[in-house]
Amino acid sequence: MAAPRPPRFDAGAAEVARTAAAARDWASLAAAARPCTACPELAATRQHVVVGDVPPTGRPRFVLVGEAPGATEDETGRPFVGRSGALLDQLLTEAGLARADAAVLNVVKCRPPANRTPRSVEVQRCGGWLRRQLELLDAPVVVALGLSSAKWFLGPRTVLAGVRGRPHDVDGRAVWATYHPSAAIRFGPKGAPRAGLLADLTAVAGSLEGTA
């Protein structure tokens, strides 16, 4: 059997990784990320680089990671503030979690045109920002919202149905993979994604009981 091919080197991804690794705190990382042009198409069409939200203390109890900003997020520069964000806030409350205790991030920080799925090279190039964010935040629990986010943490062959409902140890963090709120909206209030997302967030809340 032939040996697997090594990952193809991408200069943009390498530069982002170097720049992100040099950031000593959240403020310096955000300042470095906002003018990023590693993905020329995204840089040309975005309004904002959506770096992410963190609690005032800078130390979240858990981290929510989505796919990429949508139109409202691109306009405001903040993650999950459109329809998906409103539903996410509602389900977090129903599950016994507070968004104020979470950091809210995306795998890709710029809105893809027409909300298309981010391309693999865009995910690769933006990965350095997310890796450094997770290091700086040092939260013990991560919730991966949607398949793109789940694949970032658990690998490209991930099937959401096969990994939901339990934590996965990734670099010392408990990663829970679940549906994206947009899927819950698409399939409606009685659809499986909404029920599954609420169930998974409730399980996350249970895993956090007793933690500061």
CATH of the domain at 26: 3.40.470.10
* Cα–Cα distances in angstroms (integers) from residue 202 to residues 95, 184, 209, in the given order: 4, 16, 11
Examine residue 212 and state whether it is found in any structural domain, yes or no.
no
Examine residue 96 and state whether it is found in any structural domain, yes or no.
yes
Nearest to 144 by CA among 110, 117, 108, 180: 180
Domain count, the chain: 1
Q: Which domain holds residue 78?
A: 12-207
In this predicted structure, what is the pLDDT of residue 212? 59
- Does pLDDT of 194 surpass 50? yes
In this predicted structure, what is the pLDDT of residue 58? 84
CB burial of residue 116 (10 Å; 0-12, 13-18, 19+): exposed
Examine residue 2 and state whether it is found in any structural domain, yes or no.
no
Examine residue 5 and state whether it is found in any structural domain, yes or no.
no
Examine residue 7 and state whether it is found in any structural domain, yes or no.
no
Calpha distance 24→132 (Å, rounded): 10
Examine residue 4 and state whether it is found in any structural domain, yes or no.
no
Average pLDDT over residues 142-159: 97
pLDDT digits (tens, 9 = 90+) for 62-99: 999 999 999 999 999 999 999 999 999 999 999 999 99
Calpha distance 125→17 (Å, rounded): 8
Average pLDDT over residues 52-71: 95
In this predicted structure, what is the pLDDT of residue 85? 97
- Of the CA atoms within 13 Å of residue 195, those in its CB half-sphere come to 4
Average pLDDT over residues 132-144: 97
pLDDT band at 57; cut points 50, 70, 90: confident
Examine residue 1 and state whether it is found in any structural domain, yes or no.
no
Examine residue 3 and state whether it is found in any structural domain, yes or no.
no
Query: What's 114's DSSP letter?
Result: G
* Tokens encoding 32: 């470095």
